[in-house]
Amino acid sequence: MSRVTSFAATALLVLLGANSSLAVAPSRPRVKDVATIEGIRPNPLIGYGLVVGLNGTGDRRQTVFSTQTLANMLQRLGVQVPATAIRVNNVAAVFVTATLPPFSSSGMQIDVTVSSMGDAKSLDGGLLLLTPLYAANGETYAAAQGPVAVGGYSAGVPGNSKTLNHPTVGRIPGGAIVEKGLVVNLRTMPTISFLLRDPDFSTAHDLAAAVNRELNRNVARAIDSRRVEVTVADAGIADTTELLARIQELPIEVHTTAKVVVNERTGTVVLGRDVRLSPVSILHGSLEIEVSTQYQVSQPAPLSTGQTQVVPDTQVRTQEQSTRRIELAEGATVEDLVRGLQAIGATARDVVAILQAIQAAGALNAELEVM
């Protein structure tokens, strides 16, 4: 018998904006793609409730909060039952989460997500009882109730079961009704602030310039690398909604920072288009170690008192490959770096080590982020 242990890693290199004959000329992004409007955002909601009607897949007795919640709910309905006397496994305690969109009004329906917080095996076929949903300020903004849709199942007995997807999390499309909406009166806003998702002074300056050209007025100015303010009164458009619609459709030039992102766990390396290298020479070699174990049977001599035993015979073999070298000139691009790494057969771990060494040598003119 032989047992050989080996390690292998592969790397996926993604080039952003690299030169290619199949590349399509990129169009400039719109303002709505790179910036948000201050004060107009969704708000998370959370609640605690019960899912009933489960087919024996609910919480067990060690999950005491589900039985306490059920006893309190029955008490409000006029049924006096001690929590210690309840023994049901068709009930599951859950957290209910939702997102309240901007400009939501009373009576609007939103989707909710139901997640088990106990030891329930599945929420399939369950019904969420009326659950208030709270915002961060503690006020109730919606109420959820309805049948839970689960995209999986769990069936079988201990030791012989099968589970598909994640049966302890489900959704209720339109399962919550907004009780208190978020009113944002655009007419009372003297200025509108656009916030860039990726802060950059050049992008902020170009955004303000694009707005001023579109409106033919000096109404927008860049406050910092993220914020651009537009004065509504000087825009010449009485309807604020129309003003926002025109600004959000404007194409602008986005200036990005040269950056290299490495995820060693998945072997993914993402290199931006603007990454440049200073003159650098890379020497790369690898050492391969193979450990193999041969199991042999040791027989005792005839008429002796020895015993037959299996004796392992471990052998270690090392093989060091010759050093491979690549050289990059001044202003080398991402494509040059990737082609050189592929030529020397660099793996995911090699790529991470090489990039870190290039940065330490001062030849990587970009930010290196290791995830």
Give DSSP secondary structure letters for 237-251.
Answer: -S-HHHHHHHHHT-B
Contact 14, 269 (CB under 8 A): yes
- Tens digit of pLDDT for each residue in 272-330? 767 777 777 776 665 454 555 566 777 777 767 777 777 776 666 655 566 566 777 76
Q: Is the dihedral of CA 25, 31, 32, 36 positive or negative?
A: positive
| CB neighbour list of residue 349: distance below 8 Å, 6 or more residues apart | 9, 264
Query: What kind and span of H or E run contains 357?
Result: helix 348-360
- Do 217 and 293 lie in one domain? The reply is no
What total number of domains does the chain contain?
A: 3
d(CA 121, CA 166): 10
Using 50, 70 and 90 to split pLDDT, how confident is the model at 31?
very high
- Do 10 and 86 lie in one domain? The reply is no
Asked if pLDDT for residue 18 goes beyond 50, the answer is no
d(CA 346, CA 368): 18
- Do 223 and 332 lie in one domain? The reply is no
More confident residue, 183 or 113: 113
What is the three-class DSSP state of 280?
strand
pLDDT the model gives residue 292? 56
Amino acid in position 114: V
- Tens digit of pLDDT for each residue in 61-120? 667 777 778 888 887 888 887 776 677 788 889 999 999 998 899 999 999 999 998 888
Would 254 be classed as within a structural domain?
Answer: no
pLDDT the model gives residue 369? 80
Contact 267, 12 (CB under 8 A): yes
pTM of the shown model: 0.68
Would 93 be classed as within a structural domain?
Answer: yes
pLDDT the model gives residue 278? 77
Would 253 be classed as within a structural domain?
Answer: no
Range of the domain at 145: 47-178
User: What are the φ/ψ torsions at residue 71 (nearest 5 degrees)?
Assistant: -65, -40
Specify which of 22-31, 269-278, 328-337 reaches the highest per-range mean pLDDT: 269-278
| CB neighbour list of residue 53: distance below 8 Å, 6 or more residues apart | 90, 125, 126, 127
Q: β-strand 259-263 against 367-370: which pairing, if any?
A: parallel
Amino acid in position 181: G
The 8 Å CB, 24+ separation contacts for 180-185 are: 180/106, 180/139, 180/140, 180/141, 180/142, 181/103, 181/104, 181/105, 181/106, 181/108, 181/141, 182/43, 182/100, 182/102, 182/103, 182/104, 182/141, 183/105, 184/39, 184/40, 184/102, 184/103
Q: What is the mean pLDDT of residues 195-207?
A: 92
- Do 220 and 271 lie in one domain? The reply is no
Would 25 be classed as within a structural domain?
Answer: no
Would 24 be classed as within a structural domain?
Answer: no
pLDDT the model gives residue 271? 76
Bridge partners of residue 260, in order along the sequence: 271, 368
d(CA 292, CA 287): 16
Query: What kind and span of H or E run contains 145?
Result: strand 140-147
d(CA 16, CA 368): 15
Contact 121, 168 (CB under 8 A): yes
- Do 75 and 142 lie in one domain? The reply is yes
Would 305 be classed as within a structural domain?
Answer: no
How would DSSP label each residue in 156-224?
EETTEEEEES-TTEEEEEEEEEESS-----GGG-SEEEEEESS--HHHHHHHHHHHHHHHTS--EEE-S
Q: How many beta carbons lie within 10 A of that of residue 15, not counting itself?
A: 19
Would 26 be classed as within a structural domain?
Answer: no
- Tens digit of pLDDT for each residue in 149-164? 987 766 665 666 666 6
Residues in the chain: 371
pLDDT the model gives residue 275? 78
Would 265 be classed as within a structural domain?
Answer: yes
Using 50, 70 and 90 to split pLDDT, how confident is the model at 353?
confident
- Do 159 and 90 lie in one domain? The reply is yes
Domain end: 132, 155, 178, which one?
178
